[in-house]
Amino acid sequence: MRLLPLPVLLPALMVFSACATPGPRPSLPGGAPPERPFGTLQEQAQRQQAWLRERLEVALPHLMRQHRIEMWVVPMREYNEDPVFKALVSATTYAARRRTIYVFQDLGAQRGVSRVALGGGSQGGVYEVRRPTAKVDGGGVERVAEPWGPEQWQMLKQLLEERQPHSVAIDVSRVFAFADGLTHGEYEGLVEALGPEWAARLKPSGGLPVDVLAWRSADEERFFAEENKLAWDIIQTAFSNAVITPGTTHVQEVEWWMVQRLNELGLSTWFHPSVSVQRQGVGEAELGEDPLIQRGDVLHCDFGITALRLNTDTQHMGYVLREGETEVPEGLKQALARSNRLQDLVMEELRPGRTGNEVLRASLARMREEGIEGTVYSHPVGLHGHGAGSMVGLWDRQEGVPGNGDHKIIPSMWYSIELQASSPVAEWGGQKVRSAQEEDVIIGVDGQVRWAWKRQTAFHVVR
């Protein structure tokens, strides 16, 4: 049994003590409980509702016209939701109701996009809800029945007959998972109910669901800055003597401290954080899966926060001072500076209208011209950690990503600038050190790219 270092053990003891000794608790009406960085759950939901309304009223009409979509139909069943679901519903909706069919139709610049829900609710008034005319006895109260089974498909057919669209877009794609949300069973039910005439008008929605998921509002940008700052704060504490005692703390203890800290804040993550070590004269295999952190180690972490359905993705570097050292060795500083320079190159190439593969090629060409040894594997981030949008390389696909990397970047979306630069370090006898960094950026409505919070330019230091 491994004993936890005191800095890691104390938070757990404090939580146990609080539970063992009952005391006064803050009342909910008075505001958020202590250390709830983004307000009460109700306040968070209200903020998310404003984002939803803006996405559907401002972004959706523009994106439907950009992708030449007249009508978009999004059917899904409970617990088998389309990936675009979380971009279309309120914070208080966790799953599709039985079956939900969302129908969007562009009625022109003056009238905007009609939004109809066949099943489910109005999502705070952003959808017109249509239900059968038959009523049922709901415990002594007459209630309108919910659409169910074949009758629900017939409601869709009636709507199509009423609206007479020239084509109907559905989410089927062999390129994007985010645009392939129509399950095979739902597709069969749809085609069977609509009949051959309407089935002939079905077409793939293309990149529409991808961009609907990717698009972010101005207030989401403000929130994202706060969320990234919190990620920074947690990493800075994790890579400090508050959590790490050299020669005592293992990397997995740091990982679990980060997860526990999120839980204490009422937040979660979309992946388990990772902490790794590089050590002079020691290979990765020798270090093992859970090495003890020693003085002179270079640390790396990969960490993400999920809050209000939005995700961060951050990789930072740390260093554990040797006895007698007062600062990070110069060779390591230079290694970090090279990955910083590679970040500059990618950010300068990342702009709306280009594809991810175009950004990748341009960035790698400039990287080689400057003599940097590295790889670029950046990706969109937002409602998903590995978000909707064009990939800018994969760590093992530096030639580009066919299909996915050919999608165009849009304004008002976010990216994680993820990459690494490997540099020989003089103080380590020329041994290469991998400086892997990841920071989130915002592409504004004006197409300008900026850090969501800031970027790491100096090592976190454990003394």
- What pLDDT is attached to residue 144? 73
CA 97, distance to chain mean position in Å, is 24
Q: Is 112 left (phi over 0), alpha (psi -120 to 50) or beta?
A: left
Q: Please give the full DSSP string across 143-167, using - where no structure is assigned.
A: EEPPP-THHHHHHHHHHHHHH--S-
Does residue 319 contact residue 460 with C-beta atoms inside 8 Å?
yes
How far apart CA 230 and CA 224 sit, in angstroms, is 10
Cβ atoms within 10 A of the Cβ of 436, count? 22
Q: What counts of helices (H) and strands (E) characterise the chain? A: 11, 19
Residue ranges, the chain, pLDDT below 50: 1-32
- What pLDDT is attached to residue 138? 61
Secondary structure letter of residue 248 according to DSSP:
T
Percent of the chain exceeding pLDDT 70 equals 90
- What pLDDT is attached to residue 462? 98
Question: What average pLDDT is seen over the chain?
Answer: 92
Secondary structure letter of residue 56 according to DSSP:
I
Q: What is the largest CA-CA distance in the chain?
A: 83
Does residue 449 contact residue 363 with C-beta atoms inside 8 Å?
no
The amino acid at 392: V
Q: Please give the full DSSP string across 302-347, using - where no structure is assigned.
A: EE--EETTEE--EEEEEEEPPTT--S--HHHHHHHHHHHHHHHHHH
- What pLDDT is attached to residue 159? 97
Q: 261-268: which pairs have CB atoms within 8 A and are 24 or more residues apart?
A: 261/11, 261/234, 261/237, 262/234, 262/305, 264/11, 264/15, 264/35, 265/35, 265/36, 265/37, 265/230, 266/33, 266/35, 266/36, 267/37, 267/305, 267/306, 267/307, 268/305, 268/306, 268/307
Domains of the chain, earliest start first: 42-212 (3.40.350), 216-462 (3.90.230.10)
- What pLDDT is attached to residue 236? 97
